[in-house]
Amino acid sequence: MKRNLFFVSFIILAILFTGCSFKDYNCDYKNEEGYSNYICNSKTGCKDMNSFGLVSNLEDKKSQEYYKKNSRVCGDYLITNYLDGVCINRYLGHNNTIKIPKTLDNKPVIMLGDFISDEKYNGKNQIYGAFAGIKDCKITIPSTVKYVTSGALWVSYDADTTGFTDKYENDFASVKIDKNNPYYTYIDNIIYTKDMKTLLYINFYDYYNNEDGEDFYIVVDNIENFEPINQMLYGNYPIYFGKNIKKIDADFGTEDSGNVLVYCYKGTVTEKWAKNKGIYYAFNDNDTTTSDVGAVPGPYGADEYDKKYSKVWKSDDGKFSFTCDNKKRLN
């Protein structure tokens, strides 16, 4: 009798202290139906970092069945088994400052993913990113995370016309990466590959929460590949491109670009890209030159930037910089 009571007490304590279901979800899960479908998105991200910006793995029925059977609550998180770790499908807490743990349910947290909501649009359950519904969210991504879906860092506002309701509106006041993460790093809310050669994500929180709407974004000289996973050209702000861009893979166009102005160098990949996409641009080495698309849109004319800003920018640690022939940089 005492032995039975001890065993029951052990189960209760295990549940309380781990915050997870006591059911063993870590046994033979790779053989469960739908698992292969669930993980088939693991290389669908950016061209130069295919584990970042993954397509959702909740679109087909088999994946959804695996998700429904395998998902469980562990502390403030809804998780599923994914490859040799766990995926965070949804943050269930209410604190908007979130330091994501390295492990949940005794497995490493290797993915930030999506969840299936009970909200329907056109007869289908909507799929949202893990932090949907959290306003002014400040997250720190641990060293263990390699896989990130596009939806996990998606920002949604009232202007969305996809059936999104205010229940799931969210934005990110800051996105940080643990310094020991071997895959990614960040500077000023911008996520890069660890070698700083590929730009993966730009957080526009500062721009959208600035009353004047005056902000800017720097693609530092280190960057060779510009592959942001999020919507980029909404609003009135300049993007300054460094000299070493070799590849741009970004979904831009005149319908989305608003009054964005791209600063680039003559004869570069950036200039060709801007022309092809119909984006307003000016040259870093000759501010009076504008694109054949049309005049630089006001009130942010290139000559106005010349008068207002006159510094070369460097990161606080001095490792990264942006230089122009005319020494122009927003401070």
Predicted pLDDT at 215:
66
Predicted pLDDT at 191:
93
Q: How far apart are CA 75 and CA 95, in angstroms?
A: 13
Phi and psi at residue 225, in whole multiples of 5°?
Answer: -125, 125
Predicted pLDDT at 24:
62
Please list the residue range(s) of the chain that carry CATH number 3.80.10: 24-182
In CATH, the number for domain 24-182 is 3.80.10
What residues pair up with 199 in beta bridges, in sequence order?
192, 226
Which residue did the predictor score with more confidence, 24 or 18?
24
Mean pLDDT (the chain) is: 77
138-164 per-position pLDDT tens digit: 999 999 999 999 999 987 665 444 555
Pairing verdict, β 72-74 and 85-91? unpaired
Q: How far apart are CA 263 and CA 239, in angstroms?
A: 6
Q: Which two tokens stand for residue 132?
A: 């949907």
Which range (48-52, 83-87, 183-187, 271-275) has the least confidence? 271-275
Predicted pLDDT at 180:
98
Judged against a pLDDT cut of 90, whether residue 115 lies above it is answered with yes
Query: In the predicted model, what is the mean pLDDT of residues 108-126?
Result: 91
Predicted pLDDT at 120:
84
Which range (3-12, 23-32, 62-71, 109-118) has the least confidence? 3-12
224-280 per-position pLDDT tens digit: 999 998 766 555 677 888 888 999 988 665 555 456 778 888 889 998 888 887 777
Residues contacting 27, CB < 8 A, separation 6+? none
Closest to 253 (Cα-Cα) out of 244, 263, 245, 262: 262
Distances (CA, A) of 120 to 164, 243, 290: 10, 46, 46
Predicted pLDDT at 206:
66
Amino acid in position 37: N
Residues contacting 322, CB < 8 A, separation 6+? 218, 219, 220, 221, 240, 242, 312, 313, 329
186-229 per-position pLDDT tens digit: 988 889 999 999 999 988 776 666 545 456 777 878 899 999 98
Predicted pLDDT at 188:
80
CA atoms 246, 251, 253, 257: torsion sign: negative
